Each structure stands twice: as structure tokens, then as C-alpha cells.
Structure 1
Amino acid sequence: MKLKLLIFTLFICTLTFAQTKGTITGVLTDKELNNETLPFANVILKGTKANTTTDIDGKYTLSALPGTYVIQFSFVGYEPIEVPVTVESGKTVTISKALAPGGYMLKDVIITAPPVSREKETALLLDQKNAVEIKQSIGAQELSRKGVGDVAAAVAKTSGVSKQEGSNNVYVRGLGDRYNSTSMNGLPIPSNDPQKKNIALDLFSTDIVEYISIDKVYGSRMYGDFAGGNVDIASKDYRGEGMFEIAFGSTINTNAVQKNNFLMQQGPSKSGFISYGVPKNPLTGYNFENSLNPEKQTPFGGNFNLKAGKSFNIGEEGKLSFFATASFNNGYEFREGLTQSINAQGASLKSFEQEKFSYNTNTTGMFNSNYRFNNDHKIGYNFLFVNSSEQTRDTYFGSDRDFDNADASLQVQRGTFTQNSVIINQLLGNDKITDNINLDWGLSYNTVKGDMPDRTQNKMFYNPTTNNYTIAQRTTTDNQRYFQNLTEDEIAANIALTYKLGDNKDGDSRGKIVAGYNGRFKKREFEAIQFNFNISQTGQNTSVNPNNLDDFFNQQNYNNGLFSIAAFAGMTPQTYGGNQDIHAGFGNIEYKLSEKLSSMLGLRVEKINQTVNWRTQLDASGGKNTFERNEFLPSLVLKYELNEKQNLRIASSKTYTLPQFKERALFIYEDVMQSEIGNPFLYPSQNYNFDLKWEIFPKSDELFSVTAFGKYIIDPINQIVVASSSNDISFVNIGDSGYAYGVELETRKNIFEIEGEFTNKLSLGVNASLMKTYQDIDAEKVRKETDGRLNINTTDDNSGFTGASDLILNADLSYTKNFKKDSGIMATLAYNHYSDKLFAIGNEQKGNLVDKAMGSLDLVFKTKLNKSFGINFGAKNLLNPEFKRVQENAGGDVLVFDYKKGLSFGLGMSYQF
């Protein structure tokens, strides 16, 4: 009997297993991104153990026994979809769906991979919500919506961040260039400018960006030279099957096109690349290549861009992807206005009406390749080349106390061409060693070259009675040609090992431990040579034409003795160099203390060595200065989940601020209105940081947050006018301490959203920052710490931080409407405002220099006519406000600098094959 029962049981089991399974397959897409494929979405056959995730192309496949089921598609930050499905033996049924953004809570879903599309606003908000650390990011989707063309403009759209008018300086919570840092894909990148610590962010076109992370709270994986913020640029990582796009457009500036004679210097190429440098035998003849005579140009700019991407499947699990972009854009600008310096009584020291003609170019080329061996191993290579140029012709007409001439006014002409190029090479890898152990690593080699070849300067007297110009000279440096070159090489390495801690009773990880090493090694070489023209008395009495100075400065007049040429130390250039090595070990533990409370405790140890050497006109025999520091940098973040949509976070840390090479090198930088000299006695500041943040996420694309922050800085570094005959600017540890505190508010809200198959919504974004800054000023401290070589005589014994505004406000209103799957419109109106900000600290009884409050308004309109063809229009600086800088004197504010930038309009088209 038992034997018969066993045979019957085996027969039934055989029939059961003999049933052929059916297959369910399909592709999931992202409705918000024009149905791009959605990788790593979850697919579950409800009521069974069958589940999977979509691959890198959004494809999925499931097998099941014949029957009727419900299949669920879900992805974090999106509304789940459930579809009934009937599986038949041996047959395949195809179900493809598009998911749209929705709520955050997904029940009965196993998350097997993180979100991939970091370009999307919803994905970045989700990452911000779920992370323990305090994060803030802006993605490619938001950048496109706001019509942002470069990273500098993008960063200035975030709360607590402002961009200094007329420069590339970015201020984070009132802290400028020296307090901030820049990286790309987590690896540091060097500066392109000898005057700056950070690379100019407007070099980076948003075409290469997937998202930008702005870290205003310190974590142990970042270098400790941090107080304001770190900007990390994540480069695009292509994932589609294939794409080729071409785009072009044109831009105009109203100031430039209204100028009848738009005059630029001759010599520099319109491409932004140059091949000339210091001429041969410049001291024995007039052998300079470029003309001093300006040429008229048509001030219409343009842009051209190519993008291409392709992915290939290799084997069962391998995936190889390529992405490349190449672009060129140029533009013209013109501005005119007052620029002057005054004494404490309001009397003019220098007073000019300035005209500034500008031509700018940017050439960008990027290539990256990523190879995924399987789900556990990935390697990628990024190459980026950026070449930017700026050509300016400045004319100053007015008076200078050092050029007293009762019968004539002074005219200064300066022509400058600057070319900066950056080459970035990065090798990045990620390896899943076990289910609990993950390895991230990265290597980079970067090169920066900055050239200022043949900057020209000439000064002339104009006699209105005779309508006559003559060469003006008080010192031999008044008429000059200047050549400058910088090269900086940097190697950096990151390695981090992550160990996932054990699961709790609900199956969630309790946290992770991360330990690793960072190394950064950079070397800078800088040289400059200036050729001064000593004008003879006969030459100073010779009439000249300001627009035809070649008629005076030529070989014949050199032979006739009207002028001679000399340089500091003959043909030996002034030089300075620097080496900086940083070795760092770090570790942090992220741990879930309870169901709602999470923590992250970090410690970083850095060994720093910085050496600067020089041989300049201030120290012809040369000098050298070295300092070594060991820094111990703790950090702590606590996150409390008030409920499913609200978080409360607290963060504190210790960091430092390093002086830069050029600030410690005994070298003088000369400009028309001021000069800067280095201070070898400069040393690092110490910073203590605190943040308290409350945030709520009503929907996947909505946010409201309030952040209170405070920073205490010991021995702050400042740029200040020192007591000297020429009122030079230098860099000093200005006092014992300083602090900044404030509050940031941010909201993103959908005003209306009409339900339907296609997007139709109006949304509002607002962020604001209110802050207060303070620092001590101690003249005796400066004198003692510089062995009496530098003295300051400030008007007050304290001040705010230079570059800090009490109020920064950004707002944007966006309307998006899709008419069908591949067509629609998007319009954004964006406004930016900053309140009065301190530009420079007053000295010698003079008041502070203050940039007055200003607001700007931009409009972006984009339309997609079909899957391939798009048109966009942009109008910037619609309000055309007047930029004003005043000196706060006892008798009232005195205007010392003003101009209007004019409106800029752009029209572009793109076609994707």
C-alpha cells in the first residue's frame, strides 16, 4: 500500500513539474523624461516569490506557472502600477508601462538598487530625503528648465549662494573663494587662475553635467580645507541605446549692438586659442607681434554643440557605454560707467569714465566610457577639456592725482587677452566584494594652463584746447607690455571601503562603516615678465592718435630714440612656484540608533605640507617658505525622522582654511586701480561649523525646509589695504576670530497640476538666506605676526565678511505642458536678488566699499516640436539694473563704480537623430 502511494505521489509531482512555464517581458519607461527607459525599477508578481528589476535599458523578464496574476511595477519616488496578466504555458506576454512621479511610500517592495537618473529633480529630492547627511543638489533637468548655461550660474540658484558681479567668485553663506572647494566626481580639480583657489565654475557648460552637489555641511570624505561649501560636478553617464544631437544658436547683448564702434584689440584669435608669446629679442628692438591699434568688430555671438552616445551589450551581463560632447560658444559685451577712488574727505584720488569692450569664448570637449562587467563591478574613464578665453579693451578717461596736469586729462588704454585651459583625466571604479563589502576608488591627473600673453597698457594726456594727445609718463611702468604664464599639475587618489552592518529585526541594514584614504599632490609654476617703455622727452612731446599707437611704437621711433625698452632683471622673468601635498585617512560610521534616529560620526586626519618659493622684483635674490600641519577633523550628523515626510537634522564639524600659493609668494600683481602683494607670514585659519535643519517633502517633487547655521573662525584670513605709499592690497590673518550665522529657507511647490496622460503643471521655487557676519580687526596682531613688514590702519576695529549679503533671494516660476508624447513647451521666469554686500574694508579713515543691492530677472522658453526638433529662446537681465559700488564716508555715500550690463537675448535650435 505504501509503495502504491509513493508511486502515485511521484506521478502527480511529475505532472506538475512537466507543466511548461510562461514568460512575462517588457520595458519600463519614465513618463516625466519623455519615456526614457527606467533602469532598476522593481517588478513583482504579487502573491508569488517571483520578482526582478529592470536592466540598464529598462527591460525585464519573469517566468511563472500558467495562471492569472497581478504584476506590480514600482520605483522609489514614482506611483506604482498594477496590471492583471494571464500566463499561458510556453507563451510570452509583453507588458510595457510608463511610470510617473508620485508618493514616496511603496509597500511590499524590495529595493535592490539605488535610483540611477540623478538628473531628475524628484530623484535628487529623494536622495536628499533619505540620506543621513545634509545634502543639496541641482540636476540637469532643473538646469534645463531654468535655462542655466554654466555651473557658476547653476550654483547661484541654490539657497545661501551668491555670485559676485563682474567676476567668477562664488560666495557660500557669506564665505568667498578661499573658504570653498571644487571637485568633479568626488575628485578635486585645480584652479585655472593664479588669483583664485577654485576653478572658474562658468568654464563648465551644463551640457556635461548630470547633477551638481553643493555640500554646505562637512563630512569626513571631503578635504578639510572647507568652511563655506564644496561644489561637486557629476559628469554625464550615458545609458541609452544610441543618440546623436546637433544644436546651434546665436546671442546678442543690447549694449554691444548699440555701440556704433565696437572696438577690440588686434592679435588674439576669435577661436580663443593663441600661439604667440614673449617675442625674440624684445630688448634690442621693437619686435612685438600684435598691433596696438583697435579694430572694429560685429558684436554677434553664437554657439554650436554636438552630442553623441551609444551603449553595447557584451555577454550576458556586460554593458559598455560611450558619451561625447563638443561645443563652442562666444559672446560680446560692452559696459560704461564711473570708476574712481576717493579719500576720507570725499576728494578724488583717481576718477575715470570707463569703457569696457569684451569678447569671450568657451570650447568644451568631453568623453567618457563606462564598462559594467556585471552588477558587482564597474569601471569608468572621464576626459574633459575646457578652453576659455576673454579679450577686453578698457579705456579710462579722467584724472589721477599722480598725473597732475592743469591743461590736460588722462586717458589709460589697456588691452588684455587671457586664455585658460583645463585637462581632466579620471579613472573611477566600483566593486562589490561581498553582499556587505563595497569598494569605491578613483584616480585623477589634471593639468591647468593659464596664459596672459601681451597685455598692453598705454597712458596719454589729452589737451582739449589743442585737441592733442601725447604719451604720459610718471614712471617707466606706465607704458608696458606684460606676459604671464601659469602651469599647474595635480594628481589625486580616493579609495573607500564600505562595510554594511547587520540587519535589524525588520530586515533593514543598521548602517555602515566607511574607511579610506585621500591623497592630493599639486605643483604650480608661474612666471611673468613685463617690458616697460621709457619715453624720452621728445617722445612725450610728440602728438599721437589713441587709435593708431602703432604710428608711435614702432622700430623706426625706437631707432630714433623716442623710447627705449627695459625689463626687470633683463630677460629673466619673475617667478614663483608652489608644492602642496596632502595625505588623509578618514573613517565614519553611519548607524541607525532607533527606528527614527540615525547618526553619522566621522573623523579625518590630514598631514599637510605647503612650500612656496619666489624670485621677484620685491626679492631679487629669491625666497622660500614652508609650513607643515597635522589636522584632526571630527564631524557628527544626527537625523531624526519626525514622520514619513519630515526630517530634523543636526550637524557639527571642525575644519580649516589654507592660504593659497599666490597669497604667500612675495609677488606683486598690478592693475589700473590697485596692486596686490603676497604675505609669506600667512597661516591657516581654524573653523567650527554647526547646522540645524528641518525639512518636509509633501510630494516627490515638493519641498519645504528651514536651516539655521553658524560658523566660528579662528585667525580669519582677509584681503586688505596695507599702509604703504602706493596703498597696496595684501593678505593677513586680520584678527583673533570671526563668525557667521543665519537661516536659510527653501520651498518647491506645484501651484497646479492637471491630471492626464501628459504633463500640465505650474510650479514655484523660492529660496532665501538671511545672515550676519562679524570679524575682529587687530592691527597690532598683523604687525607682530609679519615682523613689522605689514601694517594696517583700518577705519574700524571690526567688520563683516567681504562678499557677504544679509539677504539672498532666488525665485522661479515654471510652466510645463506636453501636447503629446514627443512635443511640448516649457517656460521659466527666474529672479535673483542680493542685498548690500561689503566689497572692501575701509582704511585710513575712509569708509567701507559696499556693493549696493541689486536684482536680476531672466526668461527661458523652450519648445519641443517633435521627438527630434526643438527650439529655445532666452532673455537675460531683463530689468537691466545699475550696478553701484559706494564708499561709506561720514558725509554720506559716494559713488565710486557703476555700470549697466545690458540685456542679452539668445535663440537656438537642436535636432536629435
Structure 2
Amino acid sequence: MISRAKVLFRLSVLLLFFVSASAIYAQTGTIKGTIVDAKTKEPLIGASVLVEGTTNGAAADLDGNFVINNVSAGTHTLVASYVAYQPVTKTGIAVETNRETVVDFEMNSDDISLEAVEVVARANRESENILLLEQKKALLATQAVGARELSRKGIGNAEAAVSKISGISKQEGVKNVFVRGLGDRYNATTLNGFLVPSEDPEYKNIALDFFGTDIIQNVGVNKVFSGSSTGDAGGAIIDISSKELINDRAFGAEISGGLNRGTIGVDFLRQDGSNYLGFANNKKPNENKVDFANSLDPKVIKTPVNHTFGISGGKQFKVGADNNPLSFFIVGSHGTNYSYTGELIRNTTSDGTIYQDQQGDKYSQNINQLVLGNINFGINKAHNLAYNFMMVHANNQYVGQYSGKHTESHQDSNDYTGRAIRQQTNDNLLFTHQLISSWKLSNKMKLNAGASYNRIKGLEPDRRENYLSKQDDGTYILTGSNRQKRFFSELKENDINTKVNLQYKLNDEFDNTNSALEIGYNGRFVDDKFEAVEYNFDALSGTFPIDNLQLDDLYNQANYESGKYTMSVGELNTYNVKKNVHSAYAEATYQLTSPLTANVGLRVDNVDMTVNHRVQHVEPGRESIKKTYFLPSLNLKYDLNDKNAIRMGLSKTYTLPQSKEISPYQYVNIGFASQGNPNLKPSDNYNADLKWDYYLSPSELFTVTGFFKHIVNPIGRVDQGNSAGLLSYSNISAFATVAGIEVELRKNLINRVNTATSKVNRVSLGLNASYIYTDLEVDIVNTPRRKAQLEGAAPFIGNFDVSYSYSNRDKNLLASVVFNYFSNRVHTIGTRNYGNIIEEGVPTIDFVSSYKFNKNFTAKFKTSNLLDPSYKLSRRMNSSGENIVLNEYKKGINFSLGVSYDL
């Protein structure tokens, strides 16, 4: 429990920030207005306005409106700039404290080339309209979700953000997302363009829910590939752009609280061993002692209230005689969330005989902190240097109590029934450092260079498992055969990324900047070290009451010294993964005709991946993958007119097995255990995309995409069909086919804007849907050949949202309803005589609303998972045709209420 004094201290610090910020920034006003074409009067989306002599500026939105906040009181000069338009300067603009000044711009087109136009204010890439404009101009088919759209839809993190994009879905109980039916191993995650490793040995990519919306500028999803793209991807490259300072200063603070409906009226159980911030005690016992640091008995929390708070701020300065801009931005946050679920767990033999049938109560708590820092220095307007730092800490823990039948864990019962208690913590810490530079060497040549260093420490400290078998008289005894255990594991990873590229603009007959040549190099050097140890205890004799069981009274040092039980320490399980990838690429972009632009590239990846392992029950071994890949790509864009564009992409990529997938280490969970396969081969991916975009207006879009993939040696998770419920990994077929169609619509149903009175009434609609067809012939030893779908590939995915916004000067009301659905999909491929495990489709609905009282304070209310559907895994028995539910639970409805302050 945190003391009242500490709570008061933190509130005092937060209040001090409010007061200080108000005092510092009180003497400011606001400049607002519109920017339009002088002839057509159409809004110039993305045109920039700068307060001369400062770095404070803004970009025009879809209606041409701009707002510059925090302008110091006094007289100023404004400069408006836009590509291919003549700059406009307005002097003598008077700004008064806490007042709005309206300034409108009309700009005339210019025939000068892009090189002669200097955009003096940075475009706000949090804006939906700016991102849509970038998507329209891009040669490659891309999609992005910005911070404003995240806020409008009540999206809490990057994982939820990308799952709202067409063709992407989340699989419950599995980290990260599936893109066009391709899961974690087929995707890549980058932060500001640099690959980021996973914090969890089970996965390739870092969990996207680490990245909360308080650090996201935008999330981009690239489903097509070029020479400069990473080669180890077949589904998508998901790039998270971290927030940076947009104006010349910023300050914000937010606090919220909420509940999960399932925790109301429940004596919530929390395991011992983690402090308020979630840092877990990883201390192992001393030799020949059982002096474990953590208790076996969980504690009861009466009021498990979800809560988050955060603070952010930044400022820009002028440095040196040339007034070079130097800016910094920093954000920090903390959050705690509780949930309770009632859970069903079953397992069967191939003929449908149920050998595990348990009902459980699962008490989960997630704790996280984040610190993000950014420093950006502009040197002589031609060079830029940036440093990004990020620290993410996440603690996910639960206490699970399961009662019922299990022939493995309750073997000392005549009817194989009993009680299982599992307490697990995953405590993960990531540090990221990035240094990024760009150098304008001449009007035609630009050099970009950078490096990143990632360090991860992933702990599963003191996992506690206790099994009791029920006797005929209703009492319980502790199960023998190593069914009382504690487990410690640790993953340490160092990941270094380097990149450098040289861009040279080419002359073409259209005299624009679309044509260019780029050559580059990327290097990635990964060193993973994993180790795990298990402590096993024999069963104390006697019978025990299950309702008031005190395990600390049984397994303690006194009983150990008196010989009432013994403890054995298992062999140290280790594996080490070293992966070095050297990549060189060249790509050329050329404007072939006025509407047609082509990009052709070649990437060469030299891969050297070696796994050394020493695990129980398996001979020590060493597996290596050494291969050179030649990866060609071709991308075409044809502009039918200024509203319609067609893009085509052809490419080859590959997919390496994950570290865990080729190490034979066995990880045991409640329902299933998983083990790697040293004989896995990489997959080769051949990708084709065809996309049509129709831009109805600057903020409205209709798009249709068709795609096809041919995957050689696809990798999948398979059920080994044994009594341990063992899952493994295999090249499940010689090849797999993936094809589908995606449709997206963004439309304003009502859009009434009155610039003179600053009133806006808008109802907007977002809709995307995808149909995905996957086909392969299962080719696994001791398994009849049959047709199947790829693991995680939902044939149908749909997302729908409708939003209403009303604003009147500084006041703003926003309300959104977001709906998501995916159809049934394969969770695990069945082998031998087992059918596939199916994850049944579910619909979800979220509601989010906010009200901005003035330019500083906003109240927010959100409810998520309103339908509270049941999440189910099921399997159809080949012998009887009966469909048996293997896992089922509900997540509960979440409610939250918060308030934020922004300058």
C-alpha cells in the first residue's frame, strides 16, 4: 500500500506543475485563420504559417483552418508557405493576452520548382488530414493512424490502433497482430524507422500495447515492400513515430481512474513480490535453503481501481549566431489496470475423451511506466540531428485458481480432480537510444545516417505453481511427482541497428522531385541470452482445507529443516541466439510519364543466425541459418486524375523463425505447453498488391485493394497431440496461398463549418472490411494430408466507427462509437488425428467521449468492450464431429473517467 503522505506529495508535485505552467505561459494569445488558393478559394491543406523570429507555427487542416497557440503578446509578422505557391508575409499582427486574432491568407500559385520553396513550419503528422495527404502523394501504398484519430476513437495504444486498419486483427491470448492472416513471425516493428526487438522470448516483435497514445505521433503500416524495406517481413512493417514538439512550447498533464466491471464486489487476489511501480523481486533462494523472498499466499485488494497519470512538456530555443533551432520534448506516464475473469480450460484426447476440465478464477493486474525524450537540433537549415530515448517498463501478473479434473496434475485423486494455483509475473524493461542525422550535401544530394541501441531485460520471477488432489471424503492433499514448484527465467538482449543511405535527385522531363536514386546499408546485430531454473518440492503429508489454505505455513524454512519436505533444483536451461544481418540495397524512382511513376529496387541480405541451447531432456545442440537473400521489388503509381490513383507492388521477402521457435526449450502454461523445433526452415514470401484510391475530398477516401502472396515453407504452430497438451512449430506445408480484398471508406455525413463564428458540426464515418482466403495442404509427419487455413487468418474482418464533433471557439464536444469484428480462424494446426484448434469470432463495441471546457481543460469518459462477448477456443473431434470448447472467458466491461490539462 502506498502511504497517504506519498499520495499527497505526488498530488502536490502535479499541482506545482499546473501552477508553474500557468504562471510561465499566461501572457500569450492565439492566432487563427484560413489559407486558401487565391483563384479557386479551395483550402490549401498542409500549408504552413510561421510567426517570424520564432519556431512557433501551424499547418492548415482539411478546411484550410489553422490555429497557432501560445503566441506572446505584442506585434508580430506572419509568413505563410506552401509547395508551388508564392510565400505571403503579413506584418503588424497584434496579439493580446488571452485573446484570439484572426488572420486569413490567399496564396497565388508559382511555377518555381520544389527546391526553391522552403517550408518554414513542420507539418503536424498527428493530424488525420496531413497523414491522408501524405498517403495520397506517396508512391507506395501506405496507411497511417495519427494521434488525433487515436484520441477520437478512444484508442489506448499502438496495438489497438493497427487492429482498426483493414486486413489486421488481434488474436486473443497471443501478443501482437495478424496482418492479412500472417502473424508475429511474418511482421516487423520499428520505432522511428529502427527495428525494435521483443521483450518476450515467445515472440519476435515487441508487444505493441507497450506504446501508449501518450507517446505516439502516428502509427504507419506498410503492407508493400521496396528495396529500402527490411527483408524479414511478409505481412507488414509497423512503424511507430514517437511524439515530438510541434510548436515552440508545450505542457500537458492527465489523470484518470476507472473500473473493470468484473472486479466489482470481488476480493481481488494479488500475488506478493512486486512493488507499486511493478518492479518484481527476482531474488532466488540461497543454496540449501528455501528462503524465497516472496510469499506463496496472495493478498486481498478490496478496491482494485484502475488509474493512470502522466505529464509532458517541451520547448524550443534558438542557438548560435544563426539562430539554429534546438528543441526538446519529454513525456512520462504511469498506469495500473485490474481485471477479473472466470475461465474454462479443457483438453481432450484425439477421440474426444476429456482429460482436463477445469473452472478457474483469474485475477490480473497490469502495471506500466513510460519515459520518452526527444532532442532535435537543426544546423544551418541543411542539417538535422536528433536523439530519441525511450524507457518502457511493463509488469503483467496474475493469480489463477482452477478447480476440476486434470489427469496430469491431480493424479493422486481417484477421479483426477483437485485445485491448481498458479501465480505468474512477467516483468519487462526496455531501454532504447536512437541517434538520427540528415545532411543536405547539395541541392541534389542528401545523406541520412543513424544508429540505435536497444537493451531488454525480460523477467519471469518466482512463478509459483501448487497442485492439490481431491480425496473421496472431500479433503485435499498436495499432489506429488514434482507438482509443487517455483520457476525463474531471465532474458537479456542487446540489439544494435545501423543505417546509412545516400539520396540523389535525378532530372526527368517533368522537372519535379519524384525522380531519385537511393543506395544504402542496414546492419542489425542481436545477442539474446535466456536462462531458466525450476525448484521442485515434494508433497507434505496430510490433508488440508481448500477454503483457508495457507501455503506459507507448509513450505517454509522450519519445515524444510525438520525434513517434512525436500527441494530439488532443476538443471539450468539456457539458450543463446546471435543474429547478424548485413543488408545493402539500391532503388530508383523515376517519373516515366506525367501520371506514371515507377520504383524499382534490389536488396541483398546476408543472414547469419545461430542458436546454442542446453535444455532438459534434450541433447545440447547448435542450429544455424546462414543464407544470402536477393530481394527484388517493383512499385508503380498511376494518377488517373487529381482524385484517383492506382498503385501496384511486386516484391520478394523472407521470414526467419523466431529465436524461441528453433530452440527445444519447453515452456509450460495452464492449458498448453510449447516447445521449439530445431529443424525449422525460413520461409520465402512472394507478394503482389493492387490498390485503387479515390479521394472524395481532402478528408474523405474510398479505397479498394487486392493482394496475393505465395509462401514457400510456411511456418505454423501445431498441436503435437499428446497428453501434455504440447504445442510446437513446423514448416506445415510446401507452400501456402494467401489472397484477399480490402475496402476502406472515410466519409463526412455532416460537415458544417462557420469560420466567422468558429463553429463546427461534423458527423464522420469510418468503415473498413477485408476478406482473406488462405489455402495450404498440411504436410506433417504422422498426419493425414488435408487442406487447412493459415494460423490466425480470419476470413472476414470488419471495423466501423462513427464520430460526432461540435466545437465553438475553445469549447469542443466529441463522441465516437467504434465497432470491430473478426470471424472464426485457426489458432493452432492439429496433427496426427487431432482437428485444428479454432478461435471463434467475436464482436466488440467501444464508446469514447470528451468535452473541452476551454483551451486548457478537457474531461474524458470511455467505456470499452460493451458487449462483453465470450472468447472461445474450440476443436471439432474427427471421430464424432462434436465441437468441444477448450478455453472460454469474458474480459469484462471497462469504464474510465479522466481530466487533462494542455497549454
Normalization by structure 2: what TM-score? 0.88
Q: Residue 266 of structure 1 corresponds to which residue in structure 2?
A: 272
Q: Deviations over 1:462-511 (max 9, x none)?
A: 34x644221012x22x1100000000001101111110111535x42350
Q: Distance in 1 between matches of 2:440 and 2:524?
A: 26
**Does the C-alpha gap of structure 1 residues 58 and 387 become closer, same or farther in structure 2, counting only changes over 3 Å?**
same
| Contact 2:86–2:109 (Cα < 8 Å) also in 1 | no
Q: Residue 729 of structure 2 corresponds to which residue in structure 1?
A: 731
One-letter amino acid of the counterpart of residue 156, structure 1: S
Q: How does 1:673-688 map to 2 (within 5 A)?
A: 673-688=671-686
Q: Distance in 1 between matches of 2:47 and 2:30?
A: 10
Q: Residue 48 of structure 1 corresponds to which residue in structure 2?
A: none
Q: Distance in 1 between matches of 2:87 and 2:527?
A: 59
Give, in angstroms, the shift of residue 391 of structure 1.
1.2
Give, in angstroms, the shift of residue 803 of structure 1.
0.8
| Structure 1: tracts of 5 or more residues without a match | 1-25, 33-37, 44-50, 61-70, 86-90, 780-791
Q: Residue 427 of structure 2 corresponds to which residue in structure 1?
A: 419
Q: Residue 220 of structure 1 corresponds to which residue in structure 2?
A: 227
Q: Is the counterpart of residue 369 in structure 1 residue 375 in structure 2? A: yes
| Contact 2:363–2:399 (Cα < 8 Å) also in 1 | yes
Q: Residue 670 of structure 2 corresponds to which residue in structure 1?
A: 672
Q: What SS does the aligned partner of 1:520 have?
A: strand
Q: What SS does the aligned partner of 1:557 have?
A: helix
Q: Distance in 1 between matches of 2:32 and 2:519?
A: 37
Q: Residue 483 of structure 1 corresponds to which residue in structure 2?
A: 488
One-letter amino acid of the counterpart of residue 849, structure 1: I
Q: 1:706 is matched with which residue: 704, 707, 713?
A: 704
**Does the C-alpha gap of structure 1 residues 121 and 165 become closer, same or farther in structure 2, counting only changes over 3 Å?**
same
Q: How does 1:497-896 map to 2 (within 5 A)?
A: 497-505=502-510, 507-509=511-513, 511-535=515-539, 539=541, 547-569=549-571, 573-619=572-618, 622-722=620-720, 726-757=724-755, 758=758, 759-779=760-780, 792-794=781-783, 797-820=786-809, 822-889=810-877, 890-896=880-886
Q: Is the counterpart of residue 471 in structure 1 residue 459 in structure 2? A: no
Q: Residue 300 of structure 1 corresponds to which residue in structure 2?
A: 305
Q: Residue 190 of structure 1 corresponds to which residue in structure 2?
A: 197
Give, in angstroms, the shift of residue 710 of structure 1.
0.7
Q: Is the counterpart of residue 429 in structure 1 residue 440 in structure 2? A: no
Q: Is the counterpart of residue 397 in structure 1 residue 398 in structure 2? A: no
Q: Residue 9 of structure 2 corresponds to which residue in structure 1?
A: none
Q: Deviations over 1:451-470 (max 9, x none)?
A: 0110000000234x644221
Q: Distance in 2 between matches of 1:40 and 1:676?
A: 50
| Contact 1:544–1:551 (Cα < 8 Å) also in 2 | no
| Contact 2:406–2:416 (Cα < 8 Å) also in 1 | no
| Contact 1:648–1:693 (Cα < 8 Å) also in 2 | yes
| Contact 2:655–2:682 (Cα < 8 Å) also in 1 | yes
Q: Distance in 2 between matches of 1:462 and 1:388?
A: 37
CA RMSD of aligned residues (A): 2.8
**Does the C-alpha gap of structure 1 residues 54 and 731 become closer, same or farther in structure 2, counting only changes over 3 Å?**
farther
Give, in angstroms, the shift of residue 323 of structure 1.
0.2
Q: Residue 75 of structure 2 corresponds to which residue in structure 1?
A: none
Q: 1:344 is matched with which residue: 324, 344, 350?
A: 350
| Contact 2:603–2:630 (Cα < 8 Å) also in 1 | yes
Give, in angstroms, the shift of residue 800 of structure 1.
0.4
| Contact 2:48–2:57 (Cα < 8 Å) also in 1 | no
Give, in angstroms, the shift of residue 389 of structure 1.
0.4
Q: Residue 448 of structure 2 corresponds to which residue in structure 1?
A: 440
Q: Distance in 1 between matches of 2:842 and 2:514?
A: 49
One-letter amino acid of the counterpart of residue 340, structure 2: F
Q: Distance in 1 between matches of 2:552 and 2:51?
A: 75
Q: Distance in 2 between matches of 1:84 and 1:611?
A: 61
Q: Distance in 1 between matches of 2:181 and 2:104?
A: 41
**Does the C-alpha gap of structure 1 residues 307 and 341 become closer, same or farther in structure 2, counting only changes over 3 Å?**
same
Q: Residue 287 of structure 1 corresponds to which residue in structure 2?
A: 291
Single out whichever of 720-729 and 701-710 deviates more from structure 2.
720-729
One-letter amino acid of the counterpart of residue 512, structure 1: A
One-letter amino acid of the counterpart of residue 512, structure 2: D
One-letter amino acid of the counterpart of residue 289, structure 1: A
Q: Distance in 2 between matches of 1:99 and 1:448?
A: 51
| Contact 1:735–1:778 (Cα < 8 Å) also in 2 | yes
Q: Distance in 2 between matches of 1:235 and 1:340?
A: 42
| Contact 2:402–2:419 (Cα < 8 Å) also in 1 | yes
Q: Distance in 1 between matches of 2:857 and 2:93?
A: 34
**Does the C-alpha gap of structure 1 residues 244 and 83 become closer, same or farther in structure 2, counting only changes over 3 Å?**
closer
| Contact 1:860–1:874 (Cα < 8 Å) also in 2 | yes
Q: 2:335 is matched with which residue: 322, 329, 334?
A: 329
Identity of aligned residues (%): 34
| Contact 1:162–1:171 (Cα < 8 Å) also in 2 | yes
| Contact 1:885–1:898 (Cα < 8 Å) also in 2 | yes
| Contact 1:40–1:56 (Cα < 8 Å) also in 2 | no
| Structure 2: tracts of 5 or more residues without a match | 1-28, 36-43, 60-77, 96-100
| Contact 1:612–1:665 (Cα < 8 Å) also in 2 | yes
Q: Which structure has the greater CA radius of gyration?
A: 1
Give, in angstroms, the shift of residue 597 of structure 1.
0.6
Give, in angstroms, the shift of residue 351 of structure 1.
0.7
Q: Residue 205 of structure 1 corresponds to which residue in structure 2?
A: 212
One-letter amino acid of the counterpart of residue 323, structure 1: F
| Contact 1:273–1:389 (Cα < 8 Å) also in 2 | yes
Q: 2:160 is matched with which residue: 132, 153, 159?
A: 153
| Contact 1:27–1:58 (Cα < 8 Å) also in 2 | no
Q: What SS does the aligned partner of 2:290 have?
A: coil
| Contact 1:469–1:546 (Cα < 8 Å) also in 2 | no
Q: Distance in 1 between matches of 2:258 and 2:651?
A: 45
Q: Distance in 1 between matches of 2:420 and 2:868?
A: 27
| Contact 1:39–1:116 (Cα < 8 Å) also in 2 | no
One-letter amino acid of the counterpart of residue 815, structure 1: Y
Q: Distance in 2 between matches of 1:484 and 1:627?
A: 26
| Contact 2:192–2:241 (Cα < 8 Å) also in 1 | yes
Normalization by structure 1: what TM-score? 0.87
Q: Distance in 1 between matches of 2:670 and 2:601?
A: 48
**Does the C-alpha gap of structure 1 residues 223 and 253 become closer, same or farther in structure 2, counting only changes over 3 Å?**
same
| Contact 1:481–1:532 (Cα < 8 Å) also in 2 | yes
| Contact 1:396–1:413 (Cα < 8 Å) also in 2 | yes
Q: What SS does the aligned partner of 1:841 have?
A: strand
